[in-house]
C-alpha cells in the first residue's frame, strides 16, 4: 500500500479549526501581523508545485501519477528528518534522488530514462500562479523577500530562474549552508543571521504544517499556507495565521 502524503497530494478531508475550539470548520480568523520587515518563504509546496514534475512527464502513467508524487514527497521528507537525526547529511539533490528511486521501485516504474527525466523536471517546477504578483506587492510595500529551503543551492537557483522570480527575491537561503535540514533551529537561525532581523520582524510562510509549527516554536511570526487542507499538527508552536493561497498574504502584512 502506498502511504498517504504528508503534503496533501491526496484528499486530507475537512480542515480543523485553528482557534483551538476542536470543531470541524473553516480556517482560523486572521489578525494583521504588525512590525514585519521581511517575508521568508519555504520553497517546495509553498512557492513551487512539487507535483508538477510528475504531471509534466509524459512517461508517467496517469493511473500512477498521484501515487508517485505522494510517495516521492513522503520519502524525500522522511530522509531529511532521518539523516538529520543520524547526523549523516547529504544534500537535498541526493535525498530527492534517493526518494525517487524508492518510489519508482515500489510502484514498478522501471522505464528507461524515467528517473533522469523526473529529476530534471524537479529543477524546473512550476511556481503556483499567485506567486509572482504576491512577491511584487510585497516588494512595492518595502518588505524584503527571501526563500529559506532544504533545497540545495543548485536546485533553488534553477527553480527561481525558471519561474522568473530572481528580481523579486532579496535572498535565497539553503539549509545546505548549515549542513542539516528543517526542523533544526540552525536552519531558521540562518534567516535571522543573513537578513539581520529579529524573529518577530520576519513573517515565515510554509505550506508544510510541521515547518510552520517549527518556525513558530523558533520565534518567527508564521503564516501557514494550507494549500492541501491539512489538519493542524500536534507539535510545539502555533502559526499566527492560516491562508489557503499566498494571495492572502500581502493584506496580512500590510503590503498594499
Q: Which residue has the cell 533545497?
A: 151
The one catalytic residue in 42, 49, 211, 240 is 42
Sign (positive or negative) of CA dihedral 114, 116, 119, 125: negative
Known catalytic residue at 42: yes
Q: Say whether 180 sits in a helix, a strand or coil.
A: coil
Burial of 130 from C-beta contacts in 10 A (0-12 / 13-18 / 19+): middle
Instruction: Report whether 96 contacts 76 (CB < 8 A).
Output: yes
Q: Cα–Cα distance between 246 and 80 in angstroms, integer?
A: 25
The strand pairing partners of 24, in sequence order, are 16
Q: What is the dihedral of CA 74, 53, 39, 230, to 10 degrees?
A: -40
What are the catalytic residues? Answer: 42
Amino acid at each position: 500500500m502506498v502511504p498517504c502524503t504528508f503534503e496533501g497530494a491526496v484528499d486530507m478531508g475537512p480542515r480543523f479549526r485553528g482557534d483551538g475550539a476542536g470543531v470541524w470548520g473553516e480556517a482560523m480568523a486572521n489578525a494583521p501581523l504588525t512590525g514585519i520587515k521581511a517575508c521568508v518563504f519555504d520553497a517546495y509546496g509553498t512557492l513551487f508545485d512539487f507535483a508538477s514534475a510528475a504531471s509534466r512527464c509524459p512517461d508517467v502513467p496517469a493511473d500512477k501519477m498521484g501515487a508517485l508524487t505522494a510517495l516521492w514527497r513522503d520519502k524525500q521528507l522522511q530522509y531529511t528528518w532521518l539523516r538529520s537525526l543520524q547526523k549523516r547529511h547529504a544534500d537535498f539533490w541526493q535525498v530527492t534522488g534517493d526518494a525517487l528511486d524508492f518510489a519508482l521501485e515500489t510502484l514498478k516504474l522501471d522505464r528507461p530514462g524515467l528517473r533522469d527525466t523526473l529529476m530534471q523536471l524537479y529543477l524546473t517546477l512550476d511556481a503556483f500562479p499567485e506567486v509572482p504578483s504576491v512577491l511584487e506587492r510585497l516588494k512595492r510595500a518595502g518588505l524584503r523577500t527571501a526563500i529559506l529551503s532544504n533545497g540545495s543551492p543548485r536546485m533553488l537557483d534553477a527553480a527561481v530562474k525558471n519561474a522568473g522570480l530572481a528580481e523579486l527575491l532579496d535572498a535565497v537561503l539553503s539549509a545546505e549552508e548549515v549542513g542539516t535540514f528543517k526542523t533544526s533551529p540552525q536552519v531558521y537561525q540562518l534567516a535571522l543571521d543573513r537578513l539581520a532581523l529579529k524573529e518577530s520582524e520576519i513573517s515565515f510562510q510554509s505550506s508544510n504544517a510541521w515547518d510552520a509549527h517549527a518556525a513558530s516554536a523558533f520565534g518567527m511570526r508564521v503564516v501557514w499556507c494550507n494549500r492541501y487542507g491539512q489538519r493542524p499538527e500536534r507539535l510545539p508552536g502555533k502559526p499566527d495565521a492560516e491562508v489557503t493561497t499566498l494571495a492572502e498574504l500581502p493584506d496580512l502584512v500590510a503590503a498594499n
